[in-house]
Amino acid sequence: MRRALATAVVVLGLVGLTHDGWQQTTQVRDVALGNGLLSGPSEAKAWVDRQGGGTDPAVVRRIAEQPDAFWLVGSDGDAGALELIDLARQQDRTVQLVLYDVPRRDDGLSGAQGAADLEAYAAWVDQVSAAIGDTRAVVVVEPDALWFVDRQTPDGAARTERIESLRYAVRTLGERNPRTRVYVEAGTSSGSVETDRMADLLAEVGVSDDVGFAVNVSSYAPDAEINAYAQEIRARLVAAHGLRDPRYVVDTGRNGNPDWDFEWCNPSGRQLGHEPGPVGDDAGLDLNLWIKAPATSDGDCGVGRGTYGGEFMPDEAIRMSHGRS
C-alpha cells in the first residue's frame, strides 16, 4: 500500500520537538519546531536542478521547496539520513524520519521485505536511535505494520514478532531520544480496519499521551474524512485505554481533492493538501506533514504506469502544482 523505495535517496522535512517543547495552552497545543522544518535534498529538488532555468516555478514553490519525509528502509540508502540529522542539529531544526523495515513487511506490490527477524530489527532501530541522538526529530513508525497485522500475521510467532518489533521501536526512541516525538502509523479511512480495532492495536504497541499516531500516510483521504477517522481512534484511546490527550499527525501531501474512491495506487486527479507545518489544536492534531512527497509514485499502476515505488513523476508534479484535474 505504501511506496517501496529502491536505492533512491528521498529527503524529508523535519520538525524539531522536545518533551518540554510541547506546551499545553488553554486552547491549542504549541508545537515547538526549533527554527522550523528542515527541507533537505529530495527527488523533486534533484529534478528541478536538472532542468536548470526551464523549471516550472510552480513546481519549485509548491513542491520542491516544501519539507517531506526521509524513509529509512534498512538498506545502504539509509546513510543519506545522517547528513539530514547533522543539518538539523546544526540549524536547530527538526528532522522527520519514517521507519519502514519491520520483519515480514509486505506492501502489496513488492512482496515480502523488511528485517530478517526481531533481533535484526532491534539492532537496526538501535542504530537509528544512536544516529538521532538529541537532534530534534519526528519519527513515524512502520507504515502498514498495524494496518496489515490481522491479515498478514494474525496469530502465533509471526504476530508476536510484529507487535514486539513495534514496541521495541516505540520504547527505544522514547527512552533514548529526548527530543524525538514518535507517531505510530495508523492507516487511513478506507474502512479496511475499524477505528476501534486500530485504537486497540495502537495501545498494544505503546501509543500513549507521549507517543502519538499518524494517519493517511501515503494515502489520499481528504481532510474532513481523515480527521473524523482520527477522532474516532482518539475517542477509543480515551474511553477504552485511559489516555487523556492522544495526539496525531496527518499526511496531507496528496489529499487536496475532496473526492476519493479508496483507490490507493496512483489514482488520477489527486491534489496537493495543506503545506507541512504545526496545527496544535485542542482536538489532537499536532502537525500536517508530507510524509510521502506529492508526485511520488506508489508503483507501476494508475497514472504511474512504468514507474517504481518512490520515483518522482514530473508530469504529475506539474499537474498538481497548478491544481489541474
Q: Which residues contact 227 (CB under 8 A, 6 or more apart)?
A: 250, 283, 285
Angle at Cα 15 formed by Cα 45 and Cα 219, nearest 5°? Answer: 65
Cβ contact 35:136 at 8 Å:
no
Is 150 known to be catalytic? no
Which entry of 106, 196, 200, 223 is annotated as an active-site residue?
Answer: 106
The C-alpha cell at 130 is 544512536
Instruction: For residue 144, indicate whether it is catalytic.
Output: yes
Exactly one of 78, 101, 107, 144 is catalytic; name it.
144
Positions marked active-site: 106, 144, 298
